[in-house]
Amino acid sequence: MTKYVPVEDNNHQRASSLEIGQIDNINTTGFQRYFLKKDDFHQIDKDALFSGREINFSIFINKDFDFQPVINASDNMPQKVSPEILDMEGDIAIKASDIPLYNKYLKFLEDVDLPDNNKTILMKEKSKIILRDVLADPRDSENIKRSSAAVEKIADTILNNNDALYDLLSIINYDYYLYTHSVNVAVLSIGLGVSIGLPKKEISNLGLGAILHDIGKSSIPPEILNKSGRLTESEFKIMKFHVLEGAKILRRHKCFPEESFPAVTQHHEKLSGMGYPFGIKASNMKLYGKITAIADCYDSLTARTPYKYPLAPFSALNIIVKETENYDHELLAAFIKMLGRVKKVEEK
Ligand SMILES: [Fe+2]
């Protein structure tokens, strides 16, 4: 039987009050093998697939540290999606080499008459691919411009349709992917920005900083990023470096607005001064830093990884709320209200 043991989050180095459930029966060799293969695949949302529709890319199920093929398709041999595949447990993934075909499929579906919520998922899928490209090549300015265009679309969608936020908030995946986390943090930050009445221009600047908040992780060695156990002190020092590295990368991009920087440089700061990299206190934290700190923490707590069970939204909020000294009270109240509204949409 799976046993839960307390663990601190490697990214946030939580105090004991923020312990989350770790799965303690990890097969280390299988786990390492899995991480070597993981980058060869790309996680996709089940809602982007439609039963009976033809696809020309292969589909895999990511479960138990393995990627099992479930549809073998190609340009020469398209296959129909069966309903059973959409019911299978685990993440659906495609080969990373099939991303261009998947992108074409998403583009094709743009012109198909689909319900709004499906269109929203397709937009999120495209954003995840852009983020994957950004993290693979953070120095390419075209990728930053594409991120900016993706943020505009997310912001417009949320501004035009309150219910879109729910469609955009990720279903809980079997595994954690930095590109999905980046898009989730942008969605949550934009949602919070809209909730507190920020003007459109500010929503865009906030969203761009939020979607690129972890861009510096592209420079962190994968063995530290993907470590299943607690980081050593020296490993955590390297992990913390991602914040300044992110700012350094973005400084080189003239198209990245000055106003967006606090979302990147302050997303691990805490009002109490106990955050990193500078340990600045509330009076020196900017609004975008305070917003992304809440969004980042919430998404990390509710994310599942192969070695950590996800927290339910209520439990995650309960943990954040207890840290009264670390997060802005008014923003947190607006954040809870926003997620409460999302929950109501879910119950409809
Ligand atoms: Fe981070």
Domains in the chain and their CATH numbers?
A: 29-113 (no CATH), 116-348 (1.10.3210.10)
What are the pLDDT digits (tens) for 40-59?
999 999 999 999 999 999 99
What is the whole-number distance in angstroms between the Cα of residue 11 and the centre of ligand 1? 7
Q: CA 198, CA 209: separation in Å to the nearest integer?
A: 15
What are the pLDDT digits (tens) for 313-330?
889 999 999 998 999 999
Q: Which residues are close to ligand 1, an ion, with C-beta < 5 A?
A: 214
Residues 6+ apart with CB under 8 A from 340: none
pTM comes to 0.90
With 60 as the cut, is the pLDDT of residue 82 above it?
yes
Share of the chain above pLDDT 90, in %: 68
Q: Mean per-residue pLDDT for 283-312? A: 91
With 50 as the cut, is the pLDDT of residue 27 above it?
yes
Phi then psi for 60, rounded to 5 degrees? -130, 155
What is the whole-number distance in angstroms between the Cα of residue 266 and the centre of ligand 1? 9
Residues 6+ apart with CB under 8 A from 77: 56
Max CA separation in the chain (angstroms): 60
Tokens of 247: 């700012």
Q: Which residues pair with 6 in a beta bridge?
A: 21
More confident site: 294 or 162: 294
What is the whole-number distance in angstroms between the Cα of residue 88 and the centre of ligand 1? 32
SS (H, E, C) 139-184: CCHHHHHHHHHHHHHHHHHHHHCCCHHHHHCCCCCCCCCHHHHHHH
What is the whole-number distance in angstroms between the Cα of residue 212 and the centre of ligand 1? 10
Phi then psi for 123, rounded to 5 degrees? -65, -40
